[in-house]
Structure 1
Amino acid sequence: MDIDLAELSAAELLARAEANVDVRRQAEVDQLLLALAWCDRNGNDPQSAPGAAPVRAGGDRLVRLGGDGTPLVAELSIGELAIAFQAGYVSTHHLAAAALDLRHRLPALWSLVLELRMPVWLARKVAVMARELDREAVRVVDAAVAAAVDEAPGRILRIAEAKVIEADLAAHQARVAEDARKTGCWLSKPRPGEIIDPVGGGEAATRRFAAKLPAGAAVHLDAAINDLADALEAHQDRGSDDEPATRAQLRAEALALLADPHAAARFLDGLDGADDSPAPPRAPARRRKAVIHVHLSALALSGIIPGVTRVEGLGPFLLEQLAELLGRHDLTVQPVLDLAGVTSVNSYEHPTIVRERTIQRMCGDVFPHSTNLASVGGRFDLDHPTPYVPPARGGPPGQTGDHNAAPLARRHHRIKTHGHLPDGGGGYQVRQLGLTAYRWITPHGLARVVTPRGTTRVELLRDSDGTVLGESYPAPPGVEIHAALAWPS
């Protein structure tokens, strides 16, 4: 770096950090452009050259590195590019294939990459996911991912995954059927020297047991192991001097106990396994209650569009897979949340309905650039962006509600609450601009707006003494502004 970073102020350091993101992304884009230029230069058929060795004798040939619609490239030319990149042939091949996919099959996404708005690694991953689609079907993925550019990478990948499935439902149904045939269980077998391997840690007393099951069966087995682990935990000897078993150890013990189902049944019946007296009649097996959040379009439910659902924590499912997942549970259908609703109360604690609506509206954490997505059982604190003032200290009624609620992971909540300048002044400023919009200003003056569409950088307009006068950005499209709040001009 051309300057002494120790001489920079905190604000200048943060400015350099922001600028470095663009520098790094530009370098990665330049790598893609170099690969594309090389592919363009090597697009002629090597077999047409005088004296070319035939392909059967190892001669060069044209191959398609990317998906349908990408130009052909001389196969062996990639080797020299790999040397220039100081990389392996395979990694260079993958880089060139992704670059061709982006330029020729995903033009909207490619434009965002060139504008440095989309990280190269993320765009490349989407390109690989969509490679098997033809040039017409891939347009669905391109449009959906480009529209989600400001969202967290994990959510972008979820959107891409679902759109790849929707774009060719028959192909995914074939993938589901093929994968369903690949079930099995495996017990690890150590190779000579691994048991006391000082580098790998060794496994002198344990073995790994892996299983690949249908999604529904895997979920049910996991629940059964949890039930048995709960019972084992309840029967731990509290008077022992030994450390209590961890949750992972309890689950492992539960799985081992299931190897002898009769012993597991006796344990759950409260028997010690040594009593030869007839066991009392077993109570009917209890049905597990499950709460899952399924996001499904009404059009898909009625069969108008392909039936792809998203189950939180498990990913996209076909409708027939969803039936398998839910088949063993008692189902209680809860009313659909009205995300447009607004509730306010006079107490400090947010009502449960406010909590659920807020998390679902924002798809998770509202800390700038957060990757914490909403999930079943997800642990979020619900913060008051406008600090709560007790009525005894003059606080107004109705301070708590949808208009003043921000879901934050615990660490982000602590940062927002306790993050200040080194001298103790200037903390985080958060303002809820609407039901789905939050404006943040960090202690050193970085400004961001967070919506369900992601995080947007904001340039603050200040007067000569540094006072914030406003923000130079428009209201994000589709963001609902609460009646009690006005968007800054």
Structure 2
Amino acid sequence: MSFSTPDLDATAVLHAAGAAVVERRLSEVRELELLAQWAALHGEVDDAGRRRRLAMVRLGGEGTPLVQDHCLGEIALARGTHVIATNHALADALDLQHRLPLIWGTATTGIVDLWIVRKVARLSRHLPLARVGVVDAAIARMLGREGGGRILDVAEAAIIEADVDLHNARVEEEKRRRYVGFGRTNEYGLRALIAQIDAGDAAWIDATLTRVVAILQSRDDVERCRDEWRAVALGYLARPAELLTLLAEEVAEEVAEQPSSDAAADDDEQAPAPCACGLNRAIAFPQELLGHLRAIDWTRLRPKAVLYLHLHEAALTGQAAGVARAEPTGNHGLRAHTLTQLHRLLHRTKVTVKPVIDLNNRVRTTAYEHPEALKERVYLQTCGDYWPYAAATSRNVDYDHVTPYRSTGPPGPHLHDEQTGTHNSGPLGRTHHRWKTHAGYQARQVGEGRYLWTTPHGLAFLVDHTGTRRISPEVAEMIRQAPLGVDVYPGPVSY
């Protein structure tokens, strides 16, 4: 149905708005139904009832059917989504159909947003099949009558009620999931820190931050709000040498300011008197220890890390804005920085600058293994996994021979030879590598850092420095058959 929105009166807008929401919900139901059908086509047995001898995975909870592991990549590509997102959606679909049939039956009428019932499916996935019916019955009667927040509150309670012993066991298990995590660095060089720790440790951190803020405020007249001061203080916790020096000097100064305690010794035999800062003099640093701490080279305590920066030469000569892009290696999570920000980030560190790699030079070897120098070049050409729509940019990947390696492959400058080199290499995540090797996906390197993919059912994708583009099979064949040295760049296509 199509209509001109400006022509609608208030009543018509209300009816149309409701109809549009139902239409969107039913469209999402259709998405899950298609995923479930794909799982059925790639289940544990074939059409003749014979058991398949392939790697099978169970994406949903207990009672959901097994699915061929190798089939998951292709349906993700057809949807234009990441494999992980598709796997989550498929798991939700299987849970709803096989474990929560009452909820699923209600959801298919379009009276509830799919994200609500999908979250119920995820929250209850750990429950045994025999107990998940408690959740199904409790939630199904609420759908279309209550808001999402209330439904999820009841769902959490119903999940506990379904298996109290299992919940208690999960509480103990969750204590082993304490963590410290970091968000992405924003364009201003700021980053969020998120932690789940023991409440006692959190109290100690809070007390230490309060103490450091008090010291910093007494030495610095900069105008900062309370939260900003605490953020600055938190940085000292990451630099124990500076923190120890700061605290030691402050304690020494406080002790020096205290009046002689000889006269009060008789009155204070049972417990040493606290100083004005709230610290007990019994734990104050002796002057000899303070001098020793000051003499130590604390730079030895600094952690070591490798930082990969991408910077145009024009930024160094002042011909362009000075912006450096940092690879998110390890747990750094850094993003683009100005040169000023970069200087501020590195000014406390000892920096070793490595030579720039010229990617125009082709490197090859007759060995099967990729030497580290070759891995570096291959990664810099792709900046991550070369699977279509891959999101990972980690260097923790397999270095794959795009065309299978042959020790007798023709040496020389041929683009499609079968030995190891920048002409026949690409980084792949382990799962994507397995799929390429065993699941019928075809890849061809068609230029430096440029790869052509075709799936078992004929979908075609071109991956290069601009990202992933879905192309027609005819264009894919044109690229595949192009003479050596000729790169074909397709324009926009519809499919």
Regarding TM over 0.5, the answer is no
TM-score, normalising length from structure 1?
A: 0.42
TM-score, normalising length from structure 2?
A: 0.42
Q: Name the structure with the higher helix share.
A: 2
Larger CA Rg, structure 1 vs 2: 2
